[in-house]
Amino acid sequence: MHNPSTFDAPRPAAARSSWMRYASPALFYPLAGRMIPFFAAGAALLAAAGLYTGLVVAPIDSQQGEVYRILFIHVAAAWMSMFLYLVMAGYAALGLIFNTRLSFMMMRALAPTGALFTFLTLWTGALWGKPTWGTWWVWDARLTSELILLFLYLGFMALQAATDDTQRADRGGAILLLAGVVNVPIIYFSVQWWSTLHQGASINLTAAPSMARIMVTAMLLMVAAFWLYSAAVALARVRGIILEREPGAVQAGGEMAAGQTGPRGARTEAK
Amino acid sequence: MSWETLFSLQGHGPYILGAYGVTILLMGWEALSLWRRARRARRQRDESGSLAGRTRP
């Protein structure tokens, strides 16, 4: 028989209040709800600043003329398409190793946004390519590997939708994501490994950017805006997934949060 | 930048506006659909909560 004073005693308050407790979908649900407005407002502000800097302040490019302005959203979307895939793969690995429900839910919540940014990368790239290269599309290593990334996103989403067994869908999707992660370095290094029509990176960590500072500023503002937008929509989507999969837990979590934070927490949940 | 310059953009207006327009449209559509879904879920929760309250002895 176990000693009740050791096993049944409540855990220390410090351990209970650590951030790890937010791995519980029931507790993460209200937290996500509180974070969404901050991310959304930040995204809107940075996007407004990025659009103003990119479309109004930045001068015309001496070689490409006005059409280079497409790159402010094209590069930001391309970075997000790869970054979100890596984040999804990270959640997939966490889910498979620790069997955490929230990891699989986050993995699923990020997929449509990742697919959206991959599509926008290809779309804006085609619109930039036509006046610059004279063609909408070439079977270039960079373009083709980005198209494969779109198929990986769509394949993942189709797999999730194909079965009602969420555990099987989560595990199958996680394996697909981890198998496809090899495509991300291929996209990134394709312009170095192969002779491609697509130009090399304008910004990297080891060398000064090959663009004017105001152009780099506009691009980085759009990257930050897209990052915050992705966080806001992924959190909104994961709340829907939590509600769909664990409606009882959401109610219990809300009551727990209300109990811990008093009337303020209760008010947040009641919104 | 004048409106005329914005729409001509050295003849690249359709490309630039097509890129920015579709980006804003799709991102706006995603955000709007999530907001509507959340509102619907909240309404359903409120309705089921009030029903449970009514049936409780």
Residue A16 lies in a domain: no
Query: Mean pLDDT highest for which of A8-17, A157-166, A198-207, B48-57?
Result: A157-166
Same domain for A248 and A148: no
Residue B12 sits at φ, ψ, to 5 deg, of -100, 5
Same domain for A119 and A104: yes
Amino acid at A185: P
Residue A128 lies in a domain: yes
Same domain for A233 and A166: no
CB A155 within 8 A of CB A176: yes
Residue A12 lies in a domain: no
Helix (H, G, I), strand (E, B) or coil at A61: strand
The answer to whether A108 contacts chain B (CB < 8 Å) is: no
Helix (H, G, I), strand (E, B) or coil at A65: strand
Same domain for A245 and A188: no
Would you state the pLDDT for residue A212?
A: 82
Residues 6+ apart with CB under 8 A from A162: A169
Residue-by-residue pLDDT tens, chain B, 57 positions? 566 666 666 677 889 999 999 999 999 999 999 999 988 888 887 777 666 665 555
Q: Report the alpha-carbon distance of residue A39 to residue A27 in Å, rounded.
A: 19
Would you state the pLDDT for residue A5?
A: 43
Same domain for A250 and A265: yes
Same domain for A167 and A97: yes
CB A169 within 8 A of CB A101: no
Q: Report the alpha-carbon distance of residue A50 to residue A72 in Å, rounded.
A: 8
Residue A100 lies in a domain: yes
In angstroms and rounded to an integer, the radius of gyration of the C-alpha atoms of chain A is: 22
CB A225 within 8 A of CB A50: yes
CB A72 within 8 A of CB A219: yes
Has residue A12 got a pLDDT over 70?
no
Q: Report the alpha-carbon distance of residue A63 to residue A132 in Å, rounded.
A: 10
Q: The pTM is what? A: 0.84
Same domain for A245 and A271: yes
Would you state the pLDDT for residue A72?
A: 93
Instruction: Report the domain count for chain A.
Output: 2
| Tens of pLDDT, residues A215-271 | 999 999 999 999 999 999 999 999 999 988 888 777 766 666 555 554 443 333 333
ipTM score of the complex? 0.81
Q: Which of A183, A211, A239 corresponds to the end of one domain? A: A211
State the residue range of the domain holding A243: 26-59+216-271
Q: Report the alpha-carbon distance of residue A212 to residue A120 in Å, rounded.
A: 24
How sure is the predictor about A8, in pLDDT bands with cuts at 50, 70 and 90?
very low
Q: Report the alpha-carbon distance of residue A83 to residue A17 in Å, rounded.
A: 30
Q: Report the alpha-carbon distance of residue B10 to residue B16 in Å, rounded.
A: 11
Same domain for A119 and A250: no
Q: Report the alpha-carbon distance of residue A222 to residue A10 in Å, rounded.
A: 47
How sure is the predictor about A50, in pLDDT bands with cuts at 50, 70 and 90?
very high
Would you state the pLDDT for residue A270?
A: 36
The interface residues of chain A toward chain B in range 150-209, judged by CB-CB distance below 8 A, are none
The answer to whether B20 contacts chain A (CB < 8 Å) is: yes
Tell the residue number behind the tokens 């509180």, with chain if given.
A34
The answer to whether B39 contacts chain A (CB < 8 Å) is: no
Q: How far is A10 from chain B (nearest CA, A)?
A: 30
Please report the beta strands in chain A, taking only residues with DSSP state E, as ranges in sequence order.
none
Top residue of B23, B29, B33, B39 to mutate, by most chain A CBs within 10 Å, is: B23
- Residue percentage of chain A with pLDDT more than 70: 83
Tell the residue number behind the tokens 């989403």, with chain if given.
A157
Tell the residue number behind the tokens 């001068």, with chain if given.
A59
Same domain for A177 and A106: yes
| Bridge partners, residue A61, by sequence | A65
Helix (H, G, I), strand (E, B) or coil at A226: helix
Residue A189 lies in a domain: yes
Q: How far is B45 from chain A (nearest CA, A)?
A: 9
Same domain for A220 and A207: no
